[in-house]
Amino acid sequence: MSEEFKRIKRELVAKGHIFDYYHDTMQIPNGNIAVWDFIEHKGAAAVVPVREDGKLLMVRQYRNALERYTIEIPAGGLNPGEPTDKAALRELEEEAGYHCETAEFLLSIRTTVAFCNEKIDIYVARDLVPGPQHLDEDEYIKVEAYSVEELLDMIYQGKLQDSKTVCAVLAYARKY
């Protein structure tokens, strides 16, 4: 018996701005045929903004899928051909209203490996220069500052659940 999986067919079900949704017809190692959902994501970048006092800047925004506000690190999708470090700094300016010249790579995550290929590269930004937010028409974002300890407590109390933010805070706390 072969240990290989073979894609027989990929059918586009829906095309979106952030991702495309497909049905993949797969032959699995035991010879059976299965139809799996697959979401092809355009890629994303995120940033951990660190103020001079050591506090991390977070964005509070409403998330329709959860029907509530969340606390997250600034993040967003990639523009075509955009490097992830530049996208992270662009999102820092747009969402948090801060400028930074360079970003240090922290880690990459895959958000939902069972059915989506989304990859988020996460960076750390220091030497922040405040400025105006550049929000999209449908965005309402409040910027808040937290100590690493406060964010760790929020993670372990189940109050902070966004996966990219949890990963970023834990990695930042471990590295710095």
11 and 93 within one domain? no
Of 173, 174, 163, 172, which is closest to residue 72 (Cα–Cα)? 163
**Quick one: 109 and 89 in the same domain?**
yes
Q: Per-residue confidence of the chain (176 residues) as pLDDT tens digits?
A: 468 999 999 999 999 988 999 999 999 999 999 999 999 999 999 999 999 999 999 999 999 999 999 999 999 999 999 999 999 999 999 999 999 999 999 999 999 999 999 999 999 999 999 999 998 888 889 999 999 999 999 999 999 999 999 999 999 999 99
Q: Which domain holds residue 88?
A: 44-175
Strand-pair category, 44-49 with 119-125: parallel
Same-domain status, 139 and 85: yes
Let me know: does 172 contact 124? Beta carbons within 8 Å.
yes
Report pTM: 0.93
Task: Say yes or no: 14 and 52 in one domain.
Answer: no
Q: Which of 21, 4, 17 is nearest to 116 (CA)?
A: 21
Residues 100, 49: contact at Cβ < 8 Å? yes
Tell me the CATH number at 112: 3.90.79.10
Contact criterion met (CB below 8 Å) for 163 and 72: no
137 is catalytic: yes
* Rounded-to-integer distance, Cα 93 and Cα 100, Å: 8
- 71 and 95 share a domain? yes
Q: Does residue 74 lie within any of the structural domains?
A: yes
Are 86 and 171 found together in one domain? yes
SS3 content of the chain, % helix, strand, coil (to 5): 20, 45, 35
Instruction: Give a yes or no: residue 61 inside a domain.
Output: yes
Whether 66 maps to a domain, the answer reads yes
Domain total in the chain: 2
Is the same domain home to 35 and 55?
no
Q: Indicate whether 1 belongs to any domain.
A: no
| Statement to judge: residues 14 and 69 lie in one domain | no
Task: Give the three-class secondary structure for 157.
Answer: coil
Residues 103 and 16 in one domain: no
4, 67, 137, 149: which is the annotated catalytic residue? 137
Work out whether strand 56-63 and strand 44-49 pair parallel, antiparallel, or are unpaired.
unpaired
> ∠ at Cα 27 (22, 28), nearest 5°?
110
**Strands 19-27, 98-99: pairing kind:** unpaired
Structure confidence at residue 2 (pLDDT) = 60
Q: Which residue, among 64, 74, 151, 167, has the nearest Cα to 112 in the 3D structure?
A: 167
Q: From its phi and psi, is residue 142 left (phi > 0), alpha (psi between -120 and 50) or beta?
A: beta
